[in-house]
A and B are shown apart, each in its own frame.
Chain A
């Protein structure tokens, strides 16, 4: 087996294990390349179906094309879409783009807080109704106990220490120093009431592997990743105020792969375009301990 087949087989195995063990299971879909590969792997795991609902936390500062792309795929692949957002913070303009908070505070509120409350069912969820094509607001949903996330170990230091199945306590806290053992593909699938588990099927993948797989499988991705004539493209997607495009003339998947393999990005970390990582030296570990994905 080549390296992509090995990675694929392991991720499929993890997804099936999650599906077998958790009744209240959800997959986070950020619309970016990683979680879209994850969604594709779910279709691999379940033979073309997508039996696990997808959750997208909308900060309302996403690049608009992302939302269009999300809803197109959701309709085409009949995805069970759930959208969550921090309406209170958005309405009172307690955000970084509105000038009322730092980048880290903004992330904590629009992403981590919204995610936590949408997962627990405390806040409303917007569900895609496939008969009308519209989102419907729902309250009082059940809490999800298994959350599948597209984190990769090569993204940043604390992610390199993650388990495939990672336990979180009631406060979503992650005790990095005392993670459960995981061996021989036996994962932590037993958990005390009130705790939940994050599942990371993409830990072993690098950014380059993701693009190689997108190429091999012909996975549709949003063209924000490609240069559309202005000599810039997004390398990772997020909120527009905090994610800057990079200078690049890669116009398609092949050219991105070339660029990552031997071209200008061969040795430049993916997250270097994200501003919130720079605010304090350990920004991401701090955020992750508190539930950031």
Chain B
């Protein structure tokens, strides 16, 4: 096999220096409390700025006749400098003796909360800045509250602008008292409170003589004191399937399941299970390009694996290890969410949920409480969730999804919601809700209650047409000629005087390749297909239709929507569903005439075409 050639190249050298880790830190807090100044000063005082940068910004300020601001080192956009405000989070880079930092300077204005969240969600630790003179303000609290939701476990608080209050210990102590109490309610314990003056450099990288009363750590020291979360490797194994590759170029015959290991570790030979499908296999190899062959891989790595058996796995499934606690699967979950959308979050509107690798249609089922993240006051009886609100709600997906609870595994216990092409909110899952009925089942019950039945019964129709109605559903891999077969079958049955109809809705609308479903619309088309099928079977017709690669859940949904009509499944080639046997399995279409004969035999055996003579 030439595939192994691709792995070789020149195997990487180990690098010439001691290994260092990397950490992302976000700077948050209320507008104008001095976040950008903290970052600018830190960069300047540690000599991390490019040569001449400080002089250049100072000269620019002089030219425009405005006082120099350290914040201008970060607020690089024209609008930001003109308004003296941070609009979007900036990344900047800085190294200490022990580590490489990416410092994310977030905006404090409520208008830019989505930008603050984009910045903060990348961070492992936070510095929260509070203006000593203004004290604790709305977004000091809101940002503090959101830390926990965003998955940030370490925070230190800088009480800034002590110069403006005469470096008074009393002012500092009062803020420490007030803000500690607030944080305690959110379950966060700050690592430190540091009195600083960012503008004048007090307690930034060395302790200041202006505050002899403080002998804790400096800002720089606090950063180095934050620790990496090491426990990720020790948790149970989770790898969301990001994609499945089969590159045939240069004779490569590997079928690679690619993804990033979020938690735990996995080794060659171990048995893995995919959720929600429940399929399992063993790891045959761990694949990476240009490295020596590996037997195991750990959390954090983007890798690929090959499996011992060729099972049908699709992007979006969650890979876990058998023998370890698996993720939960279900259609209903409770979550804490924050909403950033321009339009409110509404019930009865279809959204898209992206959870680890999965993308599924989702509905807001109920709103339990809405929280003001700044005041920590709650409201119930709300019909919708407005921008910047935090809420506890229940969501329902059409199809089962695999997930963990956020407190157990944050990486697979959170999701974003898409409204009209945009990420409009994020949530962390707090509970699974066990349900007996699905959305579809409830819908079918309601539908049959409301359906005005005519005076003609199903048996009367069957007698008239000399057949029992059914949906004949032809499924299997894309590109096997299912549509041609379906049409030929219709022609044949029609010629035999059957009341038959071929519905060509599926292929173009469902998309030929089932794995690529950009908008999560496949489910919606299948739902429509099911509804239409119900009309035809209710009218006594034999409906012939096709759909590629149906999985267990999709098949069940179609059959349920078609009720009380019957569904007959013909599968061509390998199949993705396990929960039922197809009524007819065809391995290869070969001669279409033969297949049509087989389908007709099956239909007559099952009494759909009773007086059909062989």
Contacts and interface: CB of A to CB of B under 8 A. Distances in A.
A188 B256 contact: no
A21 B250 CA distance: 25
B243 interface: yes
B570 interface: no
Contacts of A2: 19-22
B89 interface: yes
B12 A216 contact: yes
Contacts of A184: 121, 151, 411, 414, 416, 426
Interface in B63-113: 74, 76-79, 87-93, 100, 102
Contacts of B258: 16, 45, 47
Contact of B76 (A3, A5, A6, A158): A158
B352 A190 contact: yes
A118 to B, nearest CB: 24
A267 B88 contact: no
Contacts of A267: 47, 49-51
Contact of B12 (A3, A160, A192, A217): A217
Of the four ranges (under 10, 10 to 19, 20 to 34, 35 or more), the interface on chain B belongs to 35 or more
Contact of A181 (B50, B52, B288, B340): B340
| Most A-side CB within 10 Å, residue of B60, B76, B302 | B302
| Most B-side CB within 10 Å, residue of A182, A204, A285 | A182
Contacts of B121: 182-184
A82 to B, nearest CB: 18
A257 B418 CA distance: 43
B315 A48 contact: no
A176 B88 CA distance: 8
Nearest to B63: A281
Contacts of B53: 269
Interface in B15-65: 15-16, 19-22, 47, 49-53, 60
Given A9-B301, A183-B416, A190 B421 contact: yes
A64 to B, nearest CB: 27
A252 to B, nearest CB: 12
B289 A13 contact: no
Contacts of B13: 215-216, 218
Of the four ranges (under 10, 10 to 19, 20 to 34, 35 or more), the interface on chain A belongs to 35 or more
A191 interface: yes
Contact of A154 (B47, B92, B287, B315): B92
Contacts of A158: 76-77
B106 to A, nearest CB: 11
A66 to B, nearest CB: 22
A7 B93 CA distance: 13
Contacts of B301: 1, 5, 9
Contacts of B150: 183
Given A9-B302, A47-B254, A48-B289, 13 more contacts: A1-B301, A44-B288, A46-B245, A47-B245, A48-B9, A49-B6, A160-B76, A161-B88, A161-B90, A163-B118, A190-B422, A268-B51, A269-B50
15 contacts: A2-B21, A3-B100, A44-B290, A45-B258, A154-B91, A161-B77, A161-B89, A161-B90, A179-B88, A180-B422, A181-B114, A183-B121, A186-B354, A203-B91, A215-B15
Interface of A: 1-10, 12-13, 16-17, 19-21, 23, 43-49, 51, 78, 153-154, 156-158, 160-161, 163, 176-177, 179-184, 186, 188-192, 203-204, 206, 212, 215-218, 254, 257, 267-269, 272, 281-282, 285
Interface of B: 6-7, 9-10, 12-16, 19-22, 47, 49-53, 60, 74, 76-79, 87-93, 100, 102, 114-115, 117-118, 121-122, 150-151, 242-243, 245, 247, 249-250, 252, 254, 256, 258, 260, 287-290, 300-302, 304, 315, 340, 352, 354, 411, 414-416, 418, 421-423, 426, 516, 518-519
